[in-house]
Amino acid sequence: MVDDTARGRPIDLHTHSVVSDGTETPAELVAAALAAGLGTVAITDHDSTAGWAEAIAAAEGTGLTVLPGLELSTQLEYASVHVLGYLVDPADADLLAEMSRIRQERLGRAEAMVGRIAKDYDLSWADVIGRAAPGATIGRPHIADALVAKGILPSREAAFRTILNWRGGYYQPHRAPLPVTGVELIVGAGGVPVIAHPGARGPSSLFDDRKVRDLVAAGLAGLELHHRDNAPDRLPRWRAWADEHDLIVTGSSDYHGAGKPNRLGEHTTDPAQLARILERAR
Ligand code: AMP
Ligand code: ZN
Ligand code: FE
Ligand code: FE
pLDDT given at position 137: 98
Q: What is the domain partition of the chain in residue ranges?
A: 4-99+174-280, 109-161
Ligand 3 mean position, distance from CA 197 (Å): 7
Q: Note the CATH architecture for domain 4-99+174-280.
A: Alpha-Beta Barrel (3.20)
Radius of gyration of the chain from Cα atoms? 18
Protein residue with least CA distance to atom 20, ligand 1: 157
CA distance 98 to 101: 5
What value, to the nearest 5°, has the Cα angle with vertex 127 and ends 124 and 132? 135
Q: Which ligand 1 atom is the nearest neighbour of the CA of 260?
A: 21
The verdict on the CB of residue 157 being under 6 Å from ligand 1 is yes
CA distance 42 to 274: 11
CA distance 48 to 275: 24
Q: Which ligand 1 atom is the nearest neighbour of the CA of 140?
A: 3
Phi and psi based region of residue 190 (left: phi greater than 0; alpha: psi -120 to 50; beta: remaining): left
Q: Which ligand 1 atom is the nearest neighbour of the CA of 139?
A: 3
Confidence tier at 147 by pLDDT (50, 70, 90): very high
pLDDT given at position 241: 98
Residue 142 CA, distance from chain mean position = 15
Ligand 4 mean position, distance from CA 66 (Å): 16
* pLDDT more than 90, % of the chain: 95
CA distance 49 to 68: 8
Confidence tier at 7 by pLDDT (50, 70, 90): confident
Protein residue with least CA distance to atom 19, ligand 1: 157
CA distance 222 to 216: 9
The residue to mutate among 83, 160, 227, 254, having the most atoms of ligand 1 within 8 angstroms of its beta carbon, is: 160
CA distance 216 to 179: 11
| Secondary element (H or E) of residue 224 | strand 222-226
Instruction: Give per-residue pLDDT as tens, 157-201.
Output: 999 999 999 999 999 999 999 999 999 999 999 999 999 999 998
Q: Is the pLDDT of residue 38 over 60?
A: yes
CA distance 85 to 88: 6
Confidence tier at 4 by pLDDT (50, 70, 90): low
Residue 271 CA, distance from chain mean position = 21
> What is the fold, at CATH topology level, of the domain defined by 109-161?
DNA polymerase; domain 1 (1.10.150)
Q: Is the pLDDT of residue 8 over 60?
A: yes
Rounded mean pLDDT, 259-279: 98
Do residues 185 and 220 lie in contact, with contact meaning Cβ atoms separated by under 8 Å? no
Do residues 141 and 215 lie in contact, with contact meaning Cβ atoms separated by under 8 Å? no
Rounded mean pLDDT, 147-156: 98
Lateral strand order in the sheet of 11-12: 11-12, 40-46, 65-76, 79-86, 192-195, 222-226, 248-251
CA distance 60 to 64: 8
Q: Specify the DSSP class assigned to residue 133.
A: P
CA distance 70 to 14: 8
